[in-house]
Amino acid sequence: MRKRYLAVALAALLAGGSAAAREYRVGLLLPYSGVYAALGKEIQAGFELGLEHYGGELGEDTVTILPEDTEVKPPVGLTKAKKLVLQDRVDVLAGLVSSGVLAAVRDFVDAARVPLIVANAGNIHATGEKCSRYIIRVSFSNAQITRPMGRYLAEIGVKTVVAMAPDYAAGHQDVEAMKGAFEAAGGKVLKEIYTPFRKTKDFGPYLTEAQATGAEALFVFYAGGEAIGFMKQYASFGLRDKLPLYAAGFLTSQLYREAIGEPALGSVNSLHYLTTLDNPENARFQKAFQEKYGRVASEFAVQGYDAARLIVAALAASRGDKEKFVDAARTTTFASPRGPWRIDPRTNNIVQNIYIYEIVKGEDGRLVEKLLETYENEQDPPNGCRLAG
């Protein structure tokens, strides 16, 4: 099933259009089914708002988006990427939620020389040893999110941690980065427990195993449907006081925080975006998103929004020339709801602040983020990537 959306530039409407106007095609590779379906839909919602806000910078030219469902399955993602590029002849690919799907499309995208703006998937290799000039990430890398959490845990005096995550690239990379920083600062990860990805419904045996380690704290990465299931079971096991929870912030994302409810309270998270960030761009973005969709925007919406704005800026600078598009996308920056950011020319990965926060109950009863610490301009090492500066 394919849906097509036409983002018509405001200027084109006012001018009544023109025969010379170009239609740019953006292939959106996102999960619309499976454990990350909600994330895919939220990224698209942010993307469409970004086109509404910034599409006018293209004058009479327009952007059409072609969404394809990756189903969170690497082979499906690759098939859809090939279809979008070879059959639909898209100018740009955007999206990708799962690190596994990003790994699957990497070689094809690189060989086809089609620009890919990554709007979620944090696979460190895509901007490390398997980096590509054509892959530019405006979301985060897995290590970028959890390395500060490892430092933070050591700073607050935690000595031992047990880690849990789904058994695929993102889970391993999130744990490894936290562990590297935590152990470099004197801590010890007593055990890493990996749960079958997309299949685990009962986290009970794994929570029992984690508790049996006697660790002072539990670190986890879970997102989407798995995050909701994990959090409810963590709470029903009565672990909040016995095994305090520290996590990559996708665990209690604004997107499904209300669905998790009270169990989210007290968890300490690290992420590149807080809904409550006090800057003019975030105020404008949240207001417009809430008016359009009737809910508070999450980090996934911000990623879609910024991806759309980056694509518009690069299209305006390149007008159909893919190499110029890449040059522009790698060097563009603008005020984002998340705060300051830039693309690292060594790796094409984003450099940005990472926030550590606790989930607390706000005055209106909503579950909100209470900022504890900011790690500024968090930047991954090149990890074997050799892109020219």
| Minimum distance from residue 170 beta carbon to ligand BEZ (Å) | 3
CB nearer to ligand BEZ: pick between 123 and 349: 123
Q: Which is nearer to ligand BEZ, 60 or 299 (CB)?
A: 299
CB closer to ligand BEZ, 145 vs 158: 145
Complex with ligand BEZ: residue 27 or 34, whichever CB lies closer: 34
Q: Which is nearer to ligand BEZ, 37 or 51 (CB)?
A: 37
CA 119 – CA 303 distance, rounded (Å): 5
Please give the helix or strand (H or E) that residue 316 lies within, else none: helix 299-318
Alpha-helical (H) ranges within 56-189 are 74-82, 99-112, 142-155, 169-184
Nearest approach, Cβ of residue 216 and ligand BEZ (Å) = 25
Sequence-separated contacts (24+) of 51-55 with Cβ below 8 Å: 51/7, 51/308, 51/312, 52/7, 52/288, 53/288, 53/305, 53/309, 54/308, 54/309, 54/312, 54/313, 55/7, 55/8, 55/9, 55/10, 55/308, 55/312
- What is the closest distance, in whole angstroms, from the C-beta atom of residue 67 to ligand BEZ in the complex? 18
Residue 166 CB, nearest approach to ligand BEZ (Å): 9
Closest approach of Cβ 167 to ligand BEZ, in Å?
A: 12
DSSP string, 256-305: THHHH-GGGTT-EEEES--TT--SHHHHHHHHHHHHHHSS---HHHHHHH
**Rounded CA gap, 9 and 384, in Å?**
40
Q: Is the dihedral of CA 131, 133, 135, 136 positive or negative?
A: positive
Closest to ligand BEZ by CB, 44 vs 123, is 123
Residue number, 44 or 99, with CB nearest to ligand BEZ:
99
What b-and-e string marks burial along 104-137, b requiring 16 or more CB atoms within 10 Å of the CB?
bbbebbbebebbbbbbbbbbbbbbbebbbebbbb
Q: Minimum Å distance from CB 142 to ligand BEZ?
A: 6
Compute the least distance from the CB of residue 349 to ligand BEZ, in Å: 13
> CA-to-CA distance for 381 and 349, rounded, in angstroms?
10
Binding site for ligand BEZ (CB under 6 A): 36, 97-99, 120-123, 142, 170, 223, 250
- Residue 62 or 298 having the CB closest to ligand BEZ: 298
Residues forming beta bridges with residue 367, ordered by sequence position: 361
- CB-wise, 227 or 314, nearer to ligand BEZ? 227
Name the token pair of 10: 């405001």
Smallest gap from residue 84 Cβ to ligand BEZ (A)? 20
**What is the C-alpha separation between 313 and 218, in angstroms, rounded?**
42
Which candidate, 309, 376, 387, places its Cα nearest to that of 346?
A: 387
- Cβ 308 to ligand BEZ, closest distance in Å? 19
- Helices 99-112 & 169-184, crossing angle to 10 degrees? 110
